[in-house]
Amino acid sequence: MAADGGSGVLTTANDGRIDPAIIAALYERHGDELQQFLTGVLRNADLAAEALQNTFAKAVESGHTAREESLKGWLFQVGFREALVLRRRSRTQERSLREMARTDDRAKATNEFASPGDRLFKKEVTDRIRQALEELPADQRQVVQMRIYEEKTFATIAEELSAPLGTVLTRMRLALKRLSRSLQGDRDDSRFI
């Protein structure tokens, strides 16, 4: 591998990247060892192959910043970081899939075991709540929607509405009172409680 004027920095092509021939030589020299290292870190050959590919892509993009004498170490550091990124991404995807499966299972269980009467009751209650929300004054409805559906804190709501925190809290309190009065008939049904 050629160094630039004896400085130890790898020569680059006109676009500032390492010459592809140097990348090929690096792959030939360190690819198998790096692949084994990444497989040990990830315990998954497919993810290790992806991390290896990402590592050499980084080498093409920014390998010219590494010194020639420390390039192997640089490759292993980049490979390790790429492996950690893939591991985190893989875990996040697994968690998301598990959560989706749980949500789907809960939805199926709710619908499968609910009697037609229970489903009708649930729909009626949902419709009454929607109607009661629509009857709220716009400023109160907005605070309820931001707090309950968007799960924002009262401080965030106050900031986004450019309103004092006390005003936002008062709107929520008034909205809850109105909703309570509107839905008072539902409280007489023991299934609602």
* Token pair for 109: 């269980």
Helices (H) and strands (E) counted in the chain, each on its own, are 8, 0
The residues, ordered by sequence, that sit 6+ positions from 148 with a Cβ below 8 Å of its Cβ are none
The DSSP bridge partners found for residue 3 are: 10
Residue-wise pLDDT for 110-147, tens only, equals 655 567 777 787 788 788 888 888 899 999 999 988 98
pTM above 0.95? no
Residue 30 has pLDDT above 70, yes or no: yes
- How many distinct structural domains can be found in the chain? 2
65/27 same-domain check: yes
HEC readout, 71-108: HHHHHHHHHHHHHHHHHHHHHHHHHHHHHHHHHHHHHH
Rounded to an integer, what distance in angstroms lies between the CA atom of residue 86 and that of residue 78? 12
Average pLDDT over the chain reads: 79
Which of 83, 113, 143 is at the close of a domain?
Answer: 113
* Token pair for 105: 């299972």
Residue-wise pLDDT for 147-166, tens only, equals 888 888 888 999 999 999 88
Domain that holds residue 137: 116-187
